[in-house]
Structure 1
Amino acid sequence: MPEELDRQTDTLGPAPSEPGEPPHGTEAAPDDRVKPDLLIAPIPVSNPAFGTGGALAGVLYYNPNNSPKPWVTAVAAGYTSTDSWAAGLFHNMALDDDRFRITALAGYGDVRLKFYGIGSNAGDAGVSVKLRDRGLMTYLDGQMRIFDKGLLSNLHVGARVSFLRVRSSISIPTPNHPELELPDFELRSGVAAIGPSFTFDTRNHPFTPRKGVLVTGTWMFGAGFLGSDFEHRKLEILSTAFFPLGKGTVLAVRKTMCATSGNAPYYDLCMFGRNNDLRGYEAGRYRDGATWALQAEVRQRVTGKLGVVGFAGVGGIAASSKDIWKHSHVLASGGAGLRYLASKANNVNLRLDVAWGKDGAAVYFGIGEAF
């Protein structure tokens, strides 16, 4: 849930009022750049895993070094109908004319979820037990722009270090479903990982782009020397491309891939739903060693403030990256949604989506686009 608060507060950043213009601060005069701007806003949250609720976020934008990219410091806390709650701190800053980017997050959550087991068969069976996860999550990511001109000037590369400490409790499985049991050492354990990260971003707008691509990736290695209880590896790549189809119409294509190797704990396996990679599936119902997903979404502006979307996707889950192409258990989903322009100044939408997957319908409500 701290990850969800991180993603939601990211949509509250300063942006131009018209698509295609540079973000506020990019071409601003130096006196305008350093003027702090404090935004306090409620954030609606609804998804199949956490239930329905809301969060309150305070976000401070400032620019002490006249960088093209403003600094952001945020604090947020939220609660949902499943009696889950989380709170977190977020900071992002740019140095040396945006050559260096540093991002940090710290959050704590007490989350009630359903645990269906591991593997595609467990997800299909639909039998679950109650799982309570109490966890502390932190990460520090530093990236650097190597090239100043050309296409590669949009690339930042660097490294990330992360810590996740989990204290969990699980309801006792029935004798007919022993696969829902978890090892005791995983219920009170932690992962400390380090590895490379990158961002490639050519979008013309941070929140409602009409063209460009955004690709992010991390390859994390569990590190015993940092105190990790596990030494598995986890690769995640998320990429989205945007294509203008006409006035007020945009096609967004999203591709995601996740793969783990080694003895990963249940809470750090790949799973659908964590990054909106296949709407219509409860986060954690399908989890295993590898996943992939491909989505397409058409976004149409109807009036000045109202828009509609239609989307469809397909994905797969497998025991490992070696099995992902030949032995994937394939899942599909589709749906439609409404968009309402909540902030004309920041060009940020409220989002309501209804998605249908293999196991039924799911409703999503939040700020900003799904991807």
Structure 2
Amino acid sequence: MTAALAAVIATVFSAAQAEEKEPLSFIDSTDGQLDMSDFLLKHKGALPVPVVITEPAVGYGVGLGLLFFSGPIAEQAANSTGNERNRIPPNVTALGGLYTRNGTWAAAAAHFHTWDDDRYRYLGAVAKVDAHLDYFGLTSEPRAYTLRGDALLQQFLLRLGNSRWYGGVRYVFFDSTSSFTGGNVPDSVSKFERNQRIGAGSLILDYDSRDNIFYPGSGSLAEFEAQFARIGFGGTQNYDVYAARGFKWFPLMHALILGLRVETKFSTGDIPFYAQPYVDLRGVQKGRYQDRNAISTEVELRWDVTPRWSLLGFTGLGKAYGRLESFSQAQNVTSVGAGFRYLIARKLGVSIGIDVAHSKDQNAFYIQVGSAWR
């Protein structure tokens, strides 16, 4: 099966092979398994990521993403044995699009770049979206609405001394048009405006000790953000969001890794209803539980069955609260699931796989590139 899949991929990219001096192979010489490291690094190819969408918020759909890897770190990895973990990340360019059966579509492009041995980090993205979503408020009956717009993200981080801390700034702009089906706005939506712009500047503080940015086996990632949306930044509303998230991976024993995740957001001011924090868990509909503030936690246990294959199980808990309900009144949201990963690019530490998750009255599965936590 592995050999057949490798033959199909080699046929698809035969044009790239003809232009390269080195023969193109999708079989790793060290273990004889399917691997795209050389194609991505030496032949400057793209990692295709098929997207099968089962997100309850938008229904079933399909999409495709392409990941390109480059830069000095990628070049070093191309000539490495691949047994070591590369803590310094490669440069990554991503292109993608999706479409679902309820008419939702989106297209995006992004680029992540580092300089000076990862002392400087840049992230930029542009996107266009036409989404058909549901707003719940306090009721269990959703109200359909449409959200269209163009988005821009720019971020720059600087390493603080020789530490693993980074400080920097982020800017987000979103020019949107929203409307509820039938024109009836729910009572729980305050100060509804059909046309809105979000212009938000953020101060960012990051800590990153992960051994690999795609699928960590040890280390931590923490981020603290103070976001200020202002008319002076190009928006139509003034509001603030204070966010913190932390991921930690503990190697318990050989091939067994425990992961912990905590993420929380607090908002104040005139925040648009669609931008309010929500419970973010696999298996839970995006925006289903949404309010002024939200907290989400997950525990994940991963077993590296072989150097290539991993199995994992996870469970999560979260709640949204603040304006519609107090913390004690807000519903506890839980989810549970399992998944697998295959190490598709050994020299980069890039894996792909599927997660299947369940929460109250909802089921979903996700095609993942590396860790689900980003």
Aligned mate of 2:310, from 307, 312, 316: 307
Equivalent residues of 1:218, 1:236 under 8 A apart: yes
SS at match of 2:251: strand
Q: 1:262 — aligned with what?
A: 269
Superposition map of 1:92-171 within 5 A: 92-116=112-136, 118=137, 121-122=138-139, 125=140, 127-148=141-162, 153-171=163-181
Within 2, Cα distance between the matches of 1:194 and 1:370?
Answer: 26
Q: Answer yes or no: is the 8 Å Cα contact 1:260–1:320 preserved in 2.
A: no
Aligned to 1:362: 364
Equivalence map 1:174-253=2 (5 Å): 178-179=186-187, 184-185=192-193, 187-253=194-260
Unaligned runs of 5+ in 1: 1-16, 19-33
Q: Which residue of 2 aligns with 1:284?
A: 287
Q: 1:266 to 1:229 in 2, by over 3 A?
A: same
Deviations 1:256-302 (A, max 9, x none): 001111111012100123xxxx2221001111000112210101123
Name the CA distance, whole Å, in 2 between partners of 1:78 and 1:352.
18
Pairwise mapping of residues 41-52 of structure 1 onto structure 2 (< 5 A)?
A: 41-46=48-53, 47-50=55-58, 51-52=60-61
CA RMSD of aligned residues (A): 3.0
Q: Which amino acid aligns with 1:292?
A: I
- Rg (Cα) greater in structure: 2
Amino acid aligned to 1:267 = Y
Higher mean C-alpha deviation, range 100-109 or range 164-173 = 164-173
- Deviating beyond 6 angstroms after TM superposition, the runs of 4 or more aligned structure 1 residues are none
Using the TM superposition, give the Cα deviation of residue 171 of structure 1 relative to its aligned residue in structure 2, in angstroms.
Answer: 0.9
Alignment match, 1:59: 68
1:346–1:102: structure 2 CA closer, same or farther, 3 Å change rule?
Answer: closer
- Change in Cα spacing, 1:208 to 1:93, as seen in structure 2 (3 Å) is closer
Moved more, 37-46 or 208-217: 37-46
TM-score using structure 2 length: 0.77
Identity of aligned pairs, percent? 26
Question: What displacement does 1:213 show?
Answer: 0.5
Distance 1:69 1:342, change over 3 A: closer
What is the number of residues matched between the two proteins?
322
Task: Tell me how far apart the structure 1 counterparts of residues 295 and 347 of structure 2 sit (CA, whole Å).
Answer: 36
Bigger RCO (CA 8 Å, 6+ sep): 1
Letter in 1 for 2:337: G
Q: Quote the residue 1:332 is aligned against.
A: 334
8 Å CA contact retained: 1:211, 1:242: yes
